[in-house]
């Protein structure tokens, strides 16, 4: 048994980055609207520490609007080649503007322009309309830094529960559950 799920996650994540053939950072993000209607999609983990797990997106997107109405989420990492998964549940809060600006500055220029060009989750008349908008932004920002759009930021899931699942023969899997207990964690096992 480990005392800190963040250290265990770091070990598993390092192994996934070394051995998982596709996007070890990919995680399913489940949100729900104010009425409790769920939705799920894949996003990329862009940072993690004892405060939580960070991803970035357009705040006007469906997920951004759902997080504004219901700031709770679940994450799932599924590393199929390692036969492991990690489930995380917790409250969600925006990262600081300084963190969002710092991350945005590391993105490829076309990704920065794409953050401005996309009305994420809104109806799109045609692919050509989107490409025209992108080309207009390329021209407008030629030779200039691309600032972070005000509606684009990061979100941090502060975990209350972290479950580590390991595949075992005959479906006798191992499930280790860490539950937030004040400043620390309690750990137990779950039946598979």
Q: What is the pLDDT of residues 109-131, one digit of tens each?
A: 999 999 999 998 889 999 999 99
Domain range annotation of the chain: 5-107+150-190
The encoded tokens of residue 110 equal: 């076309």
Give the C-alpha separation, 71 to 107, whole Å: 26
Q: Quick one: average pLDDT of 64-81?
A: 97
Kindly indicate the confidence band of residue 143, based on its pLDDT and cuts at 50, 70 and 90: very high
Computed over every residue of the chain, the mean pLDDT equals 96
Give the C-alpha separation, 77 to 16, whole Å: 10
Residue 171 bears catalytic tag? yes
Residues 6+ apart with CB under 8 A from 57: 43, 63, 64, 120, 152, 153, 154, 155
Q: Quick one: average pLDDT of 130-150?
A: 97
Catalytic residue among 171, 175, 176, 180: 171
The encoded tokens of residue 33 equal: 């609207």
Would the pLDDT of 168 be above 60? yes
**What spatial distance separates the first Cα and last Cα of the chain, rounded to whole Å?**
17
Given this model, what pLDDT does residue 93 score? Answer: 98
Q: What is the pLDDT of residues 74-118, one digit of tens each?
A: 999 999 999 999 999 999 999 999 999 999 999 999 999 999 999
Q: What is the pLDDT of residues 176-186, one digit of tens each?
A: 999 999 989 99
Distances (CA, A) of 29 to 2, 3, 40, 87, 160: 25, 26, 5, 10, 15
At the fourth CATH level, which superfamily is domain 5-107+150-190?
Electron Transport, Fmn-binding Protein; Chain A (2.30.110.10)
Given this model, what pLDDT does residue 3 score? Answer: 76
Give the C-alpha separation, 187 to 177, whole Å: 6
Given this model, what pLDDT does residue 75 score? Answer: 98
Given this model, what pLDDT does residue 2 score? Answer: 59
Q: Quick one: average pLDDT of 28-51?
A: 97
* Contact criterion met (CB below 8 Å) for 52 and 157: yes
Given this model, what pLDDT does residue 85 score? Answer: 98
Q: What is the pLDDT of residues 149-164, one digit of tens each?
A: 999 999 999 999 999 9
């Amino acid at each position: 048994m480990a005392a800190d799920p963040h250290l265990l996650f770091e070990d598993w994540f390092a192994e996934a980055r070394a051995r998982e053939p596709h996007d070890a950072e990919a995680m399913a993000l489940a949100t729900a609207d104010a009425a409790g209607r769920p939705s799920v999609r894949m996003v990329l983990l862009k940072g993690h520490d004892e405060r939580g797990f960070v991803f970035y997106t357009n705040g006007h997107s469906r997920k951004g609007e759902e997080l504004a109405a219901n700031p709770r989420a679940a994450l799932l990492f599924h590393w199929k080649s390692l036969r492991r998964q990690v489930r995380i549940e917790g409250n969600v809060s925006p990262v600081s503007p300084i963190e969002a600006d710092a991350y945005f500055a590391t993105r490829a220029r076309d990704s920065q322009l794409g953050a401005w060009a996309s009305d994420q989750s809104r109806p799109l008349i045609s692919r050509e309309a989107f490409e025209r908008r992108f080309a207009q932004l390329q021209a407008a920002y030629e030779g200039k830094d691309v600032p972070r759009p005000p509606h684009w930021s990061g979100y941090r899931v502060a975990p209350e529960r972290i479950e580590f699942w390991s595949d075992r023969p005959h479906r006798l899997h191992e499930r280790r559950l860490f539950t937030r207990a004040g400043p620390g964690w309690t750990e137990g096992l779950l039946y598979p």
